[in-house]
A and B are shown apart, each in its own frame.
Chain A
Amino acid sequence: MKKTDKIIYWVITLSFVLLFVFANDIILSIPLKETYRLKEVESTKYDEYKRDFEAKIETFYVKQDIFFTTEFSGYAFIPTNQASPNKDINLVFISENKSYEVDASVIEWFFLKSMFREKGLVGINHFFITRFSPIEMENGIYELFIYCYENENTIGFMDTNRYFEKTYRTFKEVKK
């Protein structure tokens, strides 16, 4: 075997090994349409904002694709005097060992307009939807929290009392 052939052989072999070891990170870093990526966070990150506010998970759906794409939608709001143009909603999954956070798109949802009016809310941007792959989460049972930012003085972090179990091949709601 020529020396250059040997070098090429080992470079390719090593590339495969590296690709294999970091495959999850590489694949999940590919930006997918309308899909967010989970970030590992400290479980106490939002503790100072803990309070009750109006929030509901309306749909939870796991697609059986290669990413096990998971979708959550619902609404969350804390009454304010003015509309919240910079509103931010995140979902936070907390287990005994690990915590992850995922962004959600805040959407104007006209179907909830009457409810928002009843509650005396300003604006209609209180609906959220997020899609992400749970693959990089450590296996375990997670409690779901919602972080809601209306403005710098109105921020909340609330427990939904809903639990989700992550295994290598499933992500499903469980009772605790």
Chain B
Amino acid sequence: MNKKNTVISIASLICVALFPCFFLYLQNTGAAIFSDLIEMSGILLLISLIILGFSFLIFRNIEKAALISNIFLIIGLYFAFIEKAIVKVIPMLYYWHVAIICLFLIFQIGYLIYKKSNAKLANQINQVLLLIFGGLIIFNGILAVPKAFQTISTKAQNQAELDQKINNPTSDNQEGNLPNVYYFIFDEYAGFDSIQRYCNYDNSAFYASLEELGFVTSKHSVNDTWDTYTEIPNLLQLARVNSIDMTAAEKKANLKDPFLLKFMKEQGYTVNALDSTNYQFIDVNATDLHLGVDYISTYGTFKSLIFQNTAYYPFHGYEDHDEEISNMLRMFNYAIESSEKTKSNLFTIGYFSFPHVPYIVDENGNKTNDSDRLNLRDTAPYLAQFKYASKKILEMTTEIIRNDPESIIVIQSDHGYRYPSHLHFWYGIDQFDLAVESIYERNILNSVYYQGKDIYIDNYSGINTLITVLNKLLDVDLQMVD
């Protein structure tokens, strides 16, 4: 066995197998997580080696075995594209027909390689594949280098700022009987003006119901940006640690060691968290209790983005829709149950990726059609989910206040409905002037129940509302942000 040819054969297989992972990772430098890349690369490498092992048993020649394995991998990894192309021409064919066609093709090529080709030709083709896929990985890597350097330098800077904040607490500890605090963030729940502007929907009844329960509301509050990865770390750190122009990795780094959770612990609170999404905005290591879920939706994960093009796509994440509904309902129930746990010193914090896309329910809570699940182009699926979210928020707050009337409840969203941005970024439709719409896209839900008493939050941003509540509750002097 020629050593050089063996190396080329195996290297070509590795490059073919790893290209989708590296392409996705390098195209999203700063946003993708390195451990996701390692995990997915490991899975694909293992599959490749198994295929190579079987092929070698048949061909008894590493060059030929690597060539057929490469062909098998290319077809398997890009199956969804092949299926789409075939079905476009012959619509009566389904997944299994395309799978049979592909397997038949692999069999025929394999037979040709077995019978007709020599090891030299197989090695030459492997070299070409190595050059193409290896070259593409290197090319994408070079393009990603400047972004990676930027990420590393700002990460260190942010960490230093956070360490300083955590090491210099802003108040003395105040152990004792403190009212329970509930803080819930509803991703993309449009503020009063936002929903009126994009859906022509008057949400006055919802605000009136909240006020009837004893909430103070601010209909025109806006946050600084319409970006969740900017706003949520800022809320959790009670400072503007993130700005919209930072990379996603830098923004995510500021989710670690959240100041708000540490601060509440210092004040004598037990931290209870709800976050059943794969975004993991709330650092469970900083909590005492948290809602455990058995299944997290695969929606938007690194793994799902790789699998969605492969032959394995029908079997990946097929339970997502039902589980997303069930997790969302479980979170509302858990929030209510939390109000029965104890009468004092419990800080419950929840991030609901709701009514944010995917649009999983209609306004009555019934499962939506799959075609509406990711439909950002029309306002109807969002509005339906928004209405259901409103119902669930009212149900939840009514129950919490019934169980725990002396509590404090803060309900906010991170940004408003980003309809103009959805049209622009997802569909390339420039129907709106984004600069003009920005204020509506940033118009948030902002309401506080302070034991049924008055508290001034009118036109405050999410952070300043939270700071106002904490200053009043804990008699501290956290500085409002500009």
Q: Which residues of A contact B (CB under 8 A)?
A: 1, 5, 9, 12-13, 16, 19-20, 23-24, 27, 59, 61-66, 135, 167-169
The residue in chain B whose Cβ has the minimal distance to the Cβ of A9 is B111
Residues of A within 8 A of B369 (CB): 61-62
**Nearest opposing residue in chain A for B373, CB measure:** A64
Inter-subunit contact A66/B115 (CB<8 Å): no
Asked whether B366 is an interface residue with its Cβ less than 8 Å from the other chain, the reply is: yes
- The verdict on B95 contacting chain A, using a C-beta distance below 8 Å, is yes
- A168 contacts B91, C-beta separation under 8 Å: yes
Contact in complex: A12, B107 (CB < 8 Å): yes
Mark each residue of chain B from 355 to 381: 1 if its CB lies under 8 Å from any CB of chain A, else 0: 000000000001101110000000000
Query: What residue in chain B is nearest A20 (Cβ atoms)?
Result: B100
Closest 8 A-B residue pairs measured CB to CB? A64-B370, A66-B95, A168-B91, A16-B104, A66-B314, A20-B100, A23-B96, A27-B96
Q: Once the chains are docked, how many angstroms separate the CA of A9 from the CA of B116? A: 14
Partner of B94, one of A19, A62, A63, A66: A66
The chain A residue sitting closest to B313, CB to CB, is: A66
Extra pairs beyond A13-B107, A63-B370, A168-B91 (15, CB < 8 Å): A5-B115, A12-B107, A16-B100, A16-B104, A20-B101, A23-B97, A23-B100, A24-B96, A27-B94, A61-B367, A62-B369, A62-B370, A66-B314, A135-B94, A169-B87
Contacts of A61 in B (CB 8 A): 367, 369
Point out which of A62, A63, A64, A66 has the most chain B C-beta atoms below 10 A from its C-beta.
A66
Size class of the contact patch on chain B: 20 to 34
Q: B239 to chain A: closest CB distance in Å?
A: 43
Contacts of A20 in B (CB 8 A): 97, 100-101, 104
Instruction: Give A168 to B101 CA distance when docked, in angstroms.
Output: 19
Bound-state CA distance A27–B99 (Å) is: 12
Contact assessment for B367 and A169 in the assembled complex, using a CB-CB cutoff below 8 Å: no
Considering the complex, give the chain A residue whose CB is closest to the CB of B108.
A13
The CA of A131 and the CA of B7, in the complex, are separated in Å by 51
- Does B371 contact A65, Cβ atoms closer than 8 Å? no
Q: B92 in the interface, Cβ–Cβ < 8 Å?
A: yes
- What are 6 A-B contacts with C-beta separation under 8 Å? A9-B111, A23-B96, A23-B97, A62-B370, A66-B94, A169-B87
A64 to B371 Cα, complex, angstroms: 8
Chain A residue with Cβ nearest B83 = A66
Given A1-B115, A23-B97, A65-B314: A168 touches B92 (CB 8 Å cut-off): yes
Considering the chains assembled together, what is the distance between the CA atoms of A1 and B116 in angstroms? 10
- Which A residues are in CB contact (< 8 Å) with B321? 63
Most buried by A among B94, B103, B371: B94
Contact present for A59 and B366 (CB under 8 Å)? yes
- Min CB distance B286 to A, Å, is 38
Instruction: Report B-chain residues with C-beta under 8 Å of the C-beta of A63.
Output: 321, 370
- Closest A residue to B114 by beta carbon equals A5
Docked pose: A149 CA to B78 CA in angstroms: 49
How far apart are the CA atoms of A64 and B370 in the complex, in Å?
A: 6
State in angstroms the CA–CA spacing of A5 and B111 once bound together.
Answer: 10
Chain B minimum-CB-distance residue to A12: B107
Asked whether B318 is an interface residue with its Cβ less than 8 Å from the other chain, the reply is: yes
Say how far A59's CB is from chain B's closest CB, in angstroms.
6
Do residues A65 and B318 form an inter-chain contact, with CB atoms below 8 A?
A: yes
Tell me the nearest residue of chain A to B95, going by C-beta: A66
| A62 (CB) vs chain B CBs: closest residue | B369
How does the 8 Å CB contact mask read for B291-329 relative to A, with 1 for contact and 0 for none? 000000000000000000000001000100100000000
Report B329 CB to chain A, min CB distance, Å. Answer: 16
Separation in Å of the B323 CB from the closest CB of chain A?
A: 14
B107: A residues at CB distance < 8 A? 12-13, 16
Docked complex: B139-191 residues within 8 A CB-CB of A: none
In the assembled complex, the CB of B444 is this many whole angstroms from the nearest CB of chain A, namely: 33
User: Using Cβ atoms and an 8 Å threshold, which residues of chain A touch B370?
Assistant: 62-64
A1 proximity list for chain B (CB < 8 A): 115
Residues of the A chain whose Cβ atoms lie less than 8 Å from the Cβ of B367: 59, 61
Minimum Cβ distance to chain B for residue A175 (Å): 17
Q: How far is the CA of A59 from the CA of B366 in the complex (A)?
A: 9
A59: nearest residue on chain B (CB-CB)?
A: B366
- Residues from chain B with Cβ under 8 Å of A65 in the complex: 314, 318
Bound complex: CA A13 to CA B104 (Å): 8
Whole-angstrom distance from the CB of B371 to the nearest CB of chain A?
A: 7
Interface code B73-96, partner A: CB below 8 Å = 1, 0 otherwise?
000000000000001000110111
Name the interface residues of B344-360: CB closer than 8 Å to any CB of A.
none
- Tell me how far the C-beta of B386 lies from the nearest C-beta in chain A, rounded to whole angstroms: 21
Partner of A16 from the list B94, B103, B318, B371 (CB cut-off 8 Å) is B103
- CB contacts under 8 Å to A, within B108-134, are 111, 115
CA distance A27 to B95 in the complex (A): 10
How many angstroms from the CA of A66 to the CA of B101 in the assembled complex? 16
Please name all residues of chain B whose beta carbon is closer than 8 Å to the beta carbon of A23 when the two chains form the complex: 94, 96-97, 100
User: A64–B321 Cα gap in the complex (Å)?
Assistant: 11
Inter-chain contacts of A12 with B (CB < 8 A): 107
Residue of B nearest to A169 (CB): B91
Q: Give the CA-CA distance A66 to B115 in the complex, in Å.
A: 36
Docked Cα-Cα span, A27 to B314, in Å, equals 14
Which residues of chain A are within 8 angstroms of B87 by Cβ–Cβ distance?
A: 169
> Which residues of chain B from 256 to 297 have a CB within 8 Å of any chain A CB?
none
**A176→B200 CA distance, assembly (Å):** 31
What is the bound-complex CA distance between A5 and B58, given in angstroms? 13
Q: A1-B115, A9-B111, A65-B314 are in contact. Are A24 and B94 (CB under 8 A)?
A: yes
Which residues does chain A contribute within 8 Å of B104, judged by CB atoms?
Answer: 13, 16, 20
Question: Which residue of chain A is the closest to B367 with respect to CB atoms?
Answer: A61
CB distance from A69 to the nearest CB of B (A): 10
Q: Distance in Å from the Cβ of A37 to the closest Cβ of chain B?
A: 16
Q: List residues of chain A with CB within 8 A of the CB of B91.
A: 167-169
Assembled-state Cα–Cα distance A24/B101 (Å): 14
Nearest CB of chain B from residue A113's CB, rounded to whole Å: 19
Q: How far is the CA of A12 from the CA of B321 in the complex (A)?
A: 39
Closest partner residue, chain B, to A170 (CB atom): B371
